[in-house]
Chains A and B, each alone.
Chain A
Amino acid sequence: MNVHGVRAIYKFEMARMWRTLMQSIASPVISTCLYFVVFGSAIGSRMGDINGVSYGAFIIPGLIMLSLLMQSISNASFGIYMPKFSGTIYEVLSAPVSYVEVVLGYVGAAATKSVILGLIILVTARLFVPYTILHPFWMFAFLVLTSVTFSLFGFIIGIWADGFEKLQIVPLMIVTPLVFLGGTFYSIDMLPAIWQTITLFNPVVYLISGFRWAFYGVSDVHVGISVGMTLFFLAACMVAIWWIFKTGYRLRS
């Protein structure tokens, strides 16, 4: 195991976060705060409780998930896309590092950033709405698991993308709608029956539902299914990355 190599990539990527602090941390925190102000404090005060949870508190897990998903994807995809774009990828390809080590470095750093961001948003939310965390261990486990899974997903997008536009398309055109329609702002049993069924095809539902269960003990789907679906997506991403490195897809001609 090339520990120095993993550490070098990890440190390099973390340094990028400190350099782009405004974009990596400040901007998602500010936009989440705006959601809390508008939906939590302003509109939320006129909404009834959902499953015994005040509306302001109800949307916290979903909003953290929204930032977590977007930032994990954008951090990891950018992290591997930039060396491809600038050509510096030659160095990683010619280095004595295995693909597992490359992934550990890039995805590890992206996931770390997302976890830090998630915790910062969690603390910030406390300024706007009171909330409880019934299962702190599971809350943290979902946080880490989601960050890792979607950083892996971002890594795949970064390798697939051959232009900046493609880098943006998946987070904006696919992930954002899935998060908004995945129960961030409502419980899915508030939907008509047909839409409830359709919603179950949205993988983000399971993430948000499980995460919310860790906070308040209430969920749209059973928490076991949430964990299972998250692990399934994690495994799918790992298989995709294994295939990418095995075939050299868009990395080695």
Chain B
Amino acid sequence: MQPDISVQNVSKVYSGGFHALKEVNLDIQRGEIFALLGPNGAGKTTLISIICGIVNMSSGRVLAGGHDIVTDYRAARSKIGLVPQELNTDAFETVWDTVTFSRGLFGKAANPAHIEKVLRDLSLWDKRNNRIMALSGGMKRRVMIAKALSHEPQILFLDEPTAGVDVELRRDMWNMVRGLRDNGVTIILTTHYIEEAEEMADRIGVIRAGEIILVEDTDKLMAKLGKKELRLQLQAPLEQIPGALALEPLSLSGDGYELTYTFDAQQEQAGVARLLRQLGDHGIEFRDLQTRESSLEDIFVGLVHE
């Protein structure tokens, strides 16, 4: 099947010389939810901005809905809706007017029934005659989503949709995204939150320093990366792990002074208690212990050093 979005060898060098994207290749299938993860400055927003036509690419090619975004920009862009990261809204216009404006701008004839549905779905209907500047931050975020959905896009970009958003809106947004996916809309979201990607996405792509370093199905990735570690600093060094403990996921480092126990973050932590008991039974004493969860940052570092 032809991908809904096809990014081919896309590079971007900003005028200051900053190399934001390096030969990026990425295919996103019709109707999937794709999460793009990466630290700040990794190139997530640049990639989205290029696909949406806000930033010019230095080289490469992008197809959206089968249309080249440069030579056939009208057909490509009319399929795309974008909710940017920043809360960039008008101030003096009403919610209704600004959402209606967006629909027209994207070349669609007026359809008040559709606008009403979008506003109702996003709990904005009561605010339709309010000026945008009178709305709270969360409501403004909803307005930006309504604008992006006003022209019934086939592809929706959500750039950090839940940054600084309360629990209720986050839940609403997840429901909305699933509803859109069920209607065949392709969704690309960027996020810092790994649990959000895990909850929402069918596939996850990791971008770091302008390069896509991994694209994987979400469940596979989580199985691989959702790890927790317990590190024990021992009183006396061990030459090797005692035979009775050999079945445990343990490793020895730091000249035998550090014992690391790795376990699945999703599991209950009963294993930790059992391990500590067993260590006591073997007379292995420790002077300090730490636990840490593999963070997104660790995942990137791990991937880069692979």
Taking beta carbons and an 8 Å cutoff, which residues of A are in contact with B? 2, 4-5, 7-9, 11-12, 15-16, 19, 86-88, 90-98, 248, 252-253
B200 CB to closest chain A CB (Å) equals 23
- Beta-carbon contacts under 8 Å, B200-215 to A: none
Assess A97 versus B86: contact at CB under 8 Å? Given A15-B93, A86-B91: no
CB atoms of B54 and A90 under 8 A apart: yes
CB atoms of A90 and B91 under 8 A apart: no
Assess A95 versus B108: contact at CB under 8 Å? Given A90-B88, A248-B56: no
Partner of A86, one of B53, B73, B90: B90
Taking beta carbons and an 8 Å cutoff, which residues of B are in contact with A? 14-15, 52-56, 73-78, 80, 82, 84, 86, 88-93, 97, 100-110, 147
B110: chain A residues within 8 A (beta carbon): 4
CB atoms of B93 and A96 under 8 A apart: no
Bound together, the chains give a CA A2 to CA B89 distance in angstroms of 23
B92: chain A residues within 8 A (beta carbon): 16, 19
CB atoms of B105 and A9 under 8 A apart: yes
Count how many pairs of residues, one from A and one from B, have CB atoms less than 8 Å apart in the complex.
83
Nearest first, the 10 closest Cβ-Cβ pairs linking A and B are A8-B104, A87-B88, A96-B77, A96-B74, A94-B52, A96-B78, A2-B107, A95-B105, A4-B104, A8-B105
CB atoms of B105 and A5 under 8 A apart: yes
Can you name 20 A-B pairs with beta carbons within 8 Å? Answer: A4-B106, A4-B107, A8-B102, A8-B103, A12-B93, A16-B92, A86-B88, A87-B84, A87-B88, A90-B54, A90-B88, A91-B105, A93-B53, A94-B77, A94-B80, A95-B77, A95-B107, A96-B78, A97-B105, A248-B56
Assess A5 versus B104: contact at CB under 8 Å? Given A94-B52, A94-B53, A94-B80: yes
A11 CB to closest chain B CB (Å) equals 8
B15: chain A residues within 8 A (beta carbon): 253
B109: chain A residues within 8 A (beta carbon): 4
B73: chain A residues within 8 A (beta carbon): 96
Residue from B53, B97, B107 having most chain A Cβ neighbours under 10 A: B107
